[in-house]
Amino acid sequence: MRELTCDVAVIGAGSAGLAAYRAATRAGARAVLIERGPGGTTCARVGCMPSKLLIAAATAAHGARGAGLFGIRVGDVSVDGPAVLRRLRAERDRFVGSVLEGVEEFPGEDRLTGQGRFVDGHTLAVGDGMRVRFSAAVIATGSSPAVPKPLQGLGDRLLTTDTLFEIPDLPESLAVLGLGAVGVEIAQAMARLGVKVTALDAGSTIAGLTAPGLVRKAAAILGEEFALHLGARVESAERDGNGVRLGWTGEDGQTGSVRVTHVLAAAGRPPNVGDLGLDTTGLALDEDGMPDFDARSLLCRGGPILIAGDADGWRPVLHEAGRQGRIAGENAAALAAGRPVAAPEPWPALAMVFTHPQTAAVGEPYDAEATGRILGEMDFADQGRARADGMNRGGLCLWAAPNGRLLGGEMLGPAVEHLAQILSNALRDGLTAQDLRDRPFYHPTVEEGFETALSKIVQKACRV
């Protein structure tokens, strides 16, 4: 059996793992990168990029159908499903290829292929023929789609985000289970491409929003494009010829059912830690086998092992995976060299959903029970630029401390991906609503709506 000794072993070559390997080597550590395949990062292969390619096609179709608003006459719009998916896969493969090319630049002796599994707190088995002794390790194994029990056994009628983008043609009809970021994006995109969509979620929120007024607006807007059922618990899913019969119970006890050709499981992506042998490491594990870790240093309690990216389940978005990977890699190198680890302040929470209108949640979460918070709200219905572009739906809800210091916000509307960045940076810099309002807001832009919400916080803060 081949044996190898290193300072840092990184398990997983996704966004967090690649960042961890680079950071560890920059810090002077001898690092190895272990990947069981296929590699290419979740974002590029099955996440952010293929979903945005599907959304781009759906947006083109929707824009053509809605051009009459501007006096533009367009004939019947037809969607070539196989062509949509061929372009999606071609562009997706290009993104994946660029990631893999970057990995190929790493020294060959640093790249190990095979399933990594802990033998003890300082040893990994890789595949069937290698042992890796390490001073510190980084777990960056990503996540995989969850498949609720009622959906198991549906065979090729069941889709996940790992299989959805491989189908040869758009489905005739689709049930989407889960209305978080991925589920609601796919539901709207498929509906705009002509698929008959039914979307269900057991909770009462949608697209990452929790502020009640915005949740109601989002449900009303999105519910115009596909059948939407919040508070619906799926009770049964059975094969019915070349389709699936799905049954659910609502919060009010009423039952419902629908027959679709395919079902998409979009109810989350649990971390990939179950087959790592963590019980051999001496780490403190919870009842689900997840290690207890410090969210700043990313160091697990009980051993020289760190965890980063989707594998820790804390903030499963790419920019956080990259940041966590860097922190974990640097800290792993520090542990290997006998130096103390760093524990930097986390970035403000930042999450976006690329539906139309877009949504975002930034900073501290909405809390109806919080005392002393000041709210600043606005509606896009009469916002100048949004109305000119025919995208005047949704609103903003920002919250601040009594002195006006911004704490967070939720958004539903046009250009939210840019507004959320502004708020995130303001939170990072500790700005008050007045500080941010004193910055320029160009006319006519959607950002002027942001200034409207800020002005309401400023007015209220002056009265406190």
Distance CA 256, CA 246 (A): 8
User: Do 174 and 99 have their domain in common?
Assistant: no
Q: Select from 325, 250, 40, 5 the least CA-distant residue to 165.
A: 40
Q: CATH number, domain at 452?
A: 3.30.390.30
User: Do 308 and 442 have their domain in common?
Assistant: no
User: Do 105 and 223 have their domain in common?
Assistant: no
Looking at residue 300, what is its pLDDT? 98
Count of CA atoms in the C-beta half-sphere (13 A) of 157: 22
Q: Are 10 and 137 in contact (CB under 8 A)?
A: yes
Distance CA 322, CA 50 (A): 19
Residue 303 DSSP symbol: S
Looking at residue 97, what is its pLDDT? 83
User: Do 188 and 275 have their domain in common?
Assistant: no
Listed residues 221, 248, 265: the one ending a domain: 265
Full domain range(s) for residue 362? 350-463
User: Do 292 and 240 have their domain in common?
Assistant: no
Q: Select from 211, 248, 210 the least CA-distant residue to 231.
A: 248
For residue 409, tell me if it sits in a domain: yes
Collect all residues with Cβ–Cβ distance below 8 Å to 63 and sequence separation of at least 6. Answer: none
User: Do 418 and 366 have their domain in common?
Assistant: yes
Using the structure block, give the residue that is written with the tokens 């969607």: 79
Using the structure block, give the residue that is written with the tokens 């395949």: 37
For residue 122, tell me if it sits in a domain: yes
Using the structure block, give the residue that is written with the tokens 């994006």: 185
Q: What is the pLDDT along the chain (464 residues), one digit of tens a residue?
A: 799 999 999 999 999 999 999 999 999 999 999 998 777 677 777 778 899 999 999 999 999 999 999 999 999 999 999 999 999 999 998 988 888 788 888 888 999 999 999 999 999 999 988 999 999 999 999 999 999 989 998 999 999 989 999 999 999 999 999 999 999 999 999 999 999 999 999 999 999 999 999 999 999 999 999 999 999 999 999 999 999 999 999 998 999 999 999 999 998 899 999 999 999 999 999 999 999 999 999 999 999 999 999 999 999 898 999 999 999 999 999 999 999 999 999 999 999 999 999 999 999 999 988 888 999 999 999 999 999 999 999 999 999 999 999 999 999 999 999 999 999 999 999 999 999 999 999 999 999 999 999 999 999 887 65
User: Do 182 and 97 have their domain in common?
Assistant: no
User: Do 447 and 317 have their domain in common?
Assistant: no
User: Do 180 and 199 have their domain in common?
Assistant: yes
pTM: 0.94
**The dihedral of CA 9, 12, 14, 16: what is its sign?**
negative
In the chain, the N- to C-terminal Cα span, in Å, equals 71
For residue 395, tell me if it sits in a domain: yes
Q: Select from 449, 376, 354, 401 the least CA-distant residue to 211.
A: 376
Looking at residue 464, what is its pLDDT? 56
For residue 343, tell me if it sits in a domain: no
Bridging pattern class, strands 130-139 and 2-11: parallel
Q: Work out how many domains the chain is built from and give that number.
A: 3
Listed residues 282, 314, 336: the one ending a domain: 336
Q: CATH number, domain at 110?
A: 3.50.50.60
Looking at residue 248, what is its pLDDT? 97
Q: Which two tokens stand for residue 97?
A: 């290829």
For residue 344, tell me if it sits in a domain: no
Looking at residue 129, what is its pLDDT? 87
